[in-house]
């Protein structure tokens, strides 16, 4: 039974609730990571998404902290809200909730023990040991949410294999996979195993707090009984401290009803704030966005509201939901009213029992309310505006919660809009420059192609081998110049970024077709056609390697068309073979085929015979590049033409190097 890498697992509501609060309060990555790391379900979800194809080629993650940094706070909060919504739909009986609480305690105990042992034995990545300690019994969590039957029993019987498979699918490395697979191996069997295997195996035994674990500590790491007992006592205190901070009772009967209700309220509030904001126009200047969104805030809170925008001298009233809006501009100092104080301190301010200033009284009159709440919009550039709501003492706290959620979402939207606007401008400039560069390259490539064709014709007329050899050198140098021009047309290929980035095969083919068509297929008798699939063709190889393969094969195919003909490029995806996903590339021509003298050494460097078929150094380079990416290439050739078929590794299942 195969387990999907992106699995949905139950969490304790207290943990999810605290993680949402930490995001809302803009806590640091480390604080959010500390909370998420205590829950196997949340940790699994974060790792699955952070290592998905959405984020391109990924280095191995050794901690939840690294995963959160890859996702970013905004994406993580969306992920967390989705998980919380699913949590609300989760139906567990009283016994299952008890089991989930006990599972949480055991997982956290194992993780903390693994980190302590890693530090004690000088393992270089203690956070990795902690993370794997949290994940080691994920099969049990799968069983907990599965109805009784064969599937549930399978999860219970194959916990090690399930954990190993998930760790592999998340790209955490071979050593991490082994640590999961051999976690239940006997202490005598792992004495000479890898460090990480020994850490997780011993941590799982010590977490049970039995004599077998104490004995294993002596066998595996030579730890004394006194030291091992002290580790256990310290971990127990630490688990209790974490549980207390999250409001999880460890000794009493566990009843999640109150936490579930609070989680439901928080999720609904955050979802409402996010959705109601989408009803406003978020395009244009900050002032326009603030002006438009005041109606959404009133819709969310049910309270009349005013919106003040920042000016050079202070604040001005932009819009409101109270009918006719007067012209009102004020100085931002001194900060004595709720409005100016909220602007200056960049925090929400209630009128409450404080003595109202004249400005406060004016606002009370406009809003026709007994009290006020001022909530600022805070961005990286300061405070562009403040919302003022008319409220009363009874509803002030609820109004602040909803208004703060609303302004938080608004701040994110403003930041994304700024980035998108800047990115769009940069992209337009780059596209214009790229278009101009390609047009110039066409003009340079055309005379180079004409020179190459004349050299080819001249070579056919001469019988002197020495002169033919010299002409071959000239042609090869022209080929090299053409390759350099192609690289110039794609400046992002320079540097380390190209070596670590994945290529999109269809995109590379389209660009090369545009660049090569005029030069290699300028004659009416030669045609280049492409038939590209609609699916994702991301390849676990650098763009420069893919271009080199394409250029060599397309050029060889074009030159085999002595009497004219057609070259066809096709892609197919996904292709499944040997447990992996591949992208298929086919380059075919209807030329005269590869000479028999060349076929026996097809992918080995041989003396060139360009114009009579595919040969020379180019094919050996192609073979080496495909071997390096663990792909495969096959060739079929005959009188009716030549077909090269390649399987290139899909980016979605790129293998990680071992530690």
Closest Cα partner for 521 from 553, 485, 487, 559?
A: 559
Taking residues 24-42, what's their average pLDDT?
Answer: 81
Average predicted confidence (pLDDT) for the chain: 81
Residues 374 and 238 in one domain: no
Range of the domain at 618: 500-659
Whether the per-residue pLDDT at 244 is higher than 60: the answer is: yes
Looking at the fold, whether 633 and 525 belong to one and the same domain comes out as yes
Same-domain status, 509 and 656: yes
530 and 647 share a domain? yes
Whether residue 542 sits in one domain with residue 647: yes
- The SS3 assignment for 490 reads coil
User: Are 316 and 403 within one domain?
Assistant: yes
376: helix, coil or strand?
strand
| Domain membership flag for residue 213 | yes
Is there a contact between 204 and 184 (Cβ–Cβ < 8 Å)? yes
How many Cβ atoms sit within 10 Å of the Cβ of residue 218? Answer: 14
Same domain as 126, residue 222: yes
Query: Residue 436: what pLDDT?
Result: 59
Q: Within this chain, do residues 73 and 131 fall inside the same structural domain, yes or no?
A: no
Q: E strands within 282-394? A: 305-310, 314-320, 329-331, 349-350, 371-379, 382-391
The number of distinct structural domains making up the chain is 4
Instruction: Judge if 113 and 63 occupy the same domain.
Output: no
Does residue 144 fall inside a structural domain?
yes
Asked if residues 214 and 222 have their Cβ atoms less than 8 Å apart, the reply is no
Which CATH number goes with the domain that contains 385?
Answer: 3.30.450.40
Is the same domain home to 220 and 306?
no
Tell how strand 503-504 and strand 538-539 pair up: antiparallel
Q: Does some domain include residue 493?
A: no
Model pLDDT, residue 21: 82
Q: What is the pLDDT of residue 601?
A: 75
Q: What is the mean pLDDT of residues 16-22?
A: 85
* 157-214 pLDDT per residue, tens: 888 999 999 888 888 889 999 999 999 999 999 988 999 999 999 999 999 877 888 8
**Range among 269-273, 296-300, 540-544, 584-588 rated most confident:** 584-588
Is residue 30 in some structural domain?
A: yes
The reply to whether 635 and 528 lie within a common domain is yes
Residue 431 falls inside a structural domain: no
Least confident of 25-29, 392-396, 634-638: 25-29
Residue 81: is its pLDDT beyond 90?
no
Which CATH number characterizes residue 180's domain? 1.10.3210.10
Q: Residue 655's pLDDT is what?
A: 44
pLDDT at 3: 53
Q: What is the pLDDT of residue 463?
A: 73
> Has residue 407 been placed in a domain?
yes
Residue where the block lists tokens 């991490």: 176
Confidence (pLDDT) at 456: 67
Mean pLDDT highest for which of 134-148, 418-432, 601-615? 134-148
pLDDT band at 614 (very low <50, low <70, confident <90, very high): very low
Q: Is the pLDDT of residue 632 over 70?
A: yes
Q: Is residue 132 part of a domain?
A: yes
Nearest Cα to Cα of residue 292 among 417, 400, 200, 120: 417
Domain identity same for 338 and 376: yes
Q: The domain that contains 545 carries what CATH number?
A: 3.30.565.10
Under 8 Å between Cβ of 613 and 595: yes
Q: Is residue 429 part of a domain?
A: no
């Amino acid at each position: 039974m195969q387990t999907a890498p992106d699995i949905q697992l139950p969490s304790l509501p207290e943990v999810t609730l605290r993680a949402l609060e930490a995001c809302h309060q803009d806590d640091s990555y480390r604080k959010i990571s500390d909370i998420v790391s205590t829950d196997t379900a949340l940790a699994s979800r974060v790792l699955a998404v952070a290592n998905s194809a959405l984020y391109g080629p990924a280095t191995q993650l050794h901690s939840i902290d690294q995963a959160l940094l890859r996702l970013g706070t905004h994406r993580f909060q969306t992920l967390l809200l989705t998980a919380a919504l699913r949590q609300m739909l989760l139906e567990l009986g009283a016994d299952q909730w008890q089991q989930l609480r006990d599972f949480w305690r055991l997982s956290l105990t194992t993780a903390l023990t693994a980190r302590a042992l890693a530090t004690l034995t000088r393992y270089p990545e203690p956070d990795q040991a902690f993370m794997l300690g949290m994940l080691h019994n994920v099969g049990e969590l799968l069983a907990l949410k599965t109805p009784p039957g064969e599937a549930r029993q399978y999860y219970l019987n194959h916990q090690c294999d399930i954990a190993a498979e998930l760790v592999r699918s998340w790209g955490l490395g071979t050593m991490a996979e082994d640590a999961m697979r051999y976690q239940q191996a006997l202490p005598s069997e792992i004495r000479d195993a890898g460090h990480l295997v020994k850490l997780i195996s011993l941590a799982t035994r010590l977490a049970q707090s039995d004599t077998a674990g104490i004995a294993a500590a002596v066998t595996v790491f030579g730890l004394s009984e006194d030291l091992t007992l002290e580790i256990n006592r310290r971990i127990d205190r630490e688990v209790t401290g974490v549980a207390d901070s999250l409001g999880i009772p460890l000794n009493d009967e566990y009843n999640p009803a109150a936490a579930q209700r609070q989680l439901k309220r928080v999720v609904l509030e955050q979802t409402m704030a996010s959705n109601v904001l989408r009803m406003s126009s978020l395009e244009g200047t900050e002032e326009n966005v603030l002006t438009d969104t005041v109606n959404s805030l009133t819709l969310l809170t049910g309270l009349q509201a005013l919106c003040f925008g920042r000016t050079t001298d202070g604040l001005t009233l932009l819009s409101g939901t109270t009918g006719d809006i007067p012209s009102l501009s004020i100085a931002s100092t001194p900060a004595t009213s709720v409005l100016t104080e909220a602007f200056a301190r960049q925090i929400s301010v209630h009128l409450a029992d404080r003595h109202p200033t004249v400005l406060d009284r004016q606002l009370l009159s406009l809003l026709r309310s007994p009290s006020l709440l001022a909530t600022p919009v805070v961005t990286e550039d300061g405070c562009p505006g403040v919302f003022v709501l008319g409220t009363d003492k009874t509803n002030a706290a609820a109004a602040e919660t909803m208004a703060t959620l609303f302004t938080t979402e608004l701040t994110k939207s403003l930041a994304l809009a700024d980035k998108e606007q800047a990115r769009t401008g940069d992209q337009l400039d780059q596209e214009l420059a790229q278009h101009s560069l390609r047009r110039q390259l066409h003009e340079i490539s055309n005379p180079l192609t004409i020179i190459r064709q004349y050299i080819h014709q001249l070579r056919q007329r001469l019988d002197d081998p020495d002169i033919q050899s010299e002409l071959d050198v000239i042609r090869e140098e022209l080929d090299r110049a053409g390759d350099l021009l192609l690289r110039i047309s794609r400046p992002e290929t320079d540097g380390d970024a190209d070596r670590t980035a994945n290529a999109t095969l269809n995109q590379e083919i389209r660009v090369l077709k545009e660049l090569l068509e005029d030069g290699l297929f300028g004659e009416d008798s030669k045609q280049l056609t492409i038939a590209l699939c609609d699916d994702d063709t991301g390849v676990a190889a650098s763009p420069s390697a893919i271009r080199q393969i394409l250029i060599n094969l397309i050029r060889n195919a074009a030159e085999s068309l002595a009497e004219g003909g057609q070259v066809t490029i096709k892609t197919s995806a996904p292709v499944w073979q040997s447990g992996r996903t591949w992208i298929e590339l086919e380059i075919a021509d209807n030329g005269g085929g590869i000479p028999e003298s060349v076929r026996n050494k097809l992918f080995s460097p041989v003396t060139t015979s360009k114009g009579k078929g595919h040969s020379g150094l180019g094919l050996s380079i192609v073979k080496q590049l495909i071997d390096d990416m663990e792909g495969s290439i096959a060739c079929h050739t005959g009188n009716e033409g030549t077909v090269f078929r390649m399987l290139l590794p899909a980016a979605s299942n790129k293998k990680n190097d071992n530690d």
